[in-house]
Chain A
Amino acid sequence: DAGVIQSPRHEVTEMGQEVTLRCKPISGHNSLFWYRQTMMRGLELLIYFNNNVPIDDSGMPEDRFSAKMPNASFSTLKIQPSEPRDSAVYFCASRSGLTQYFGPGTRLTVL
């Protein structure tokens, strides 16, 4: 299995631009999570899905952030418009039982 796949691995954009991060979970996993990691705040949960349905989005910072999971094999996290304070590493993870697998992350830099 290829594991959790994220794209792009690196994204540099300018303030105000739209950013879309993509995730392909491990086949058969029914839970998908989006996290953001910074030095100051550590690893923060943004949103998670069970069986493609959003369960808890209380970690989404504000309306500029949105996430979708149109099917069991694909999810997106969109930031529109992006701001410099959104710069961080964004991780997608999928889970089967108690075992959670993280993707390699997308390093986002907003100038």
Chain B
Amino acid sequence: TQLLEQSPQFLSIQEGENLTVYCNSSSVFSSLQWYRQEPGEGPVLLVTVVTGGEVKKLKRLTFQFGDARKDSSLHITAAQPGDTGLYLCAGLMNYGGSQGNLIFGKGTKLSVKP
């Protein structure tokens, strides 16, 4: 059973379109992160959200953490070919007050065509 479900799995769009990808769980996380991974490289952290309902913007990317801290979304405005990659969400669960490990979703593979 996958703890973090990401949807859609694959997304192919034209340059200039908007898109939203989702990350859902039945578990509560102390924080949630989004990463982007390009072929042949490791994932790179984009953002960390900590507070329920929090919204963070990174240029054309908008990240939202659900009020109950169980889900998150990533919205990209006017997508560009440079946005192409695998987008991974990861939830952090604390154990007894100490930081635990990240639980990763399987990712959304985004392709933006010029």
Chain B residue nearest to A43 (CB atoms) is B104
Decide yes or no whether A100 CB sits under 8 A from chain B: yes
Q: Known interface pairs A42-B106, A104-B40. Does A99 touch B101 (Cβ–Cβ under 8 Å)?
A: no
Chain B residue nearest to A4 (CB atoms) is B42
> Which chain A residues in 8-44 approach chain B with CB under 8 Å?
31, 33, 35, 41-44
Question: What are 18 A-to-B residue pairs whose CB atoms are below 8 Å?
Answer: A4-B42, A31-B99, A35-B104, A42-B2, A42-B107, A43-B43, A43-B88, A44-B104, A45-B102, A45-B103, A91-B42, A93-B42, A98-B33, A99-B48, A100-B45, A102-B42, A102-B44, A105-B40
Q: Lowest 7 A-B CB distances belong to which pairs?
A: A102-B42, A42-B106, A43-B104, A102-B43, A98-B48, A91-B42, A48-B101
What count of chain B residues pass the 8 Å CB interface test?
Answer: 21
Q: Say what secondary structure dominates the interface of chain A.
A: strand
> Which chain A residues in 24-78 approach chain B with CB under 8 Å?
31, 33, 35, 41-45, 48, 56
Task: Compute how far the CA of A105 lies from the CA of B42 in the bound complex, rounded to whole angstroms.
Answer: 6
User: Cβ of A56 and Cβ of B101 under 8 Å apart?
Assistant: yes
Decide yes or no whether B31 CB sits under 8 A from chain A: yes
Inter-chain contacts of B101 with A (CB < 8 A)? 33, 45, 48, 56
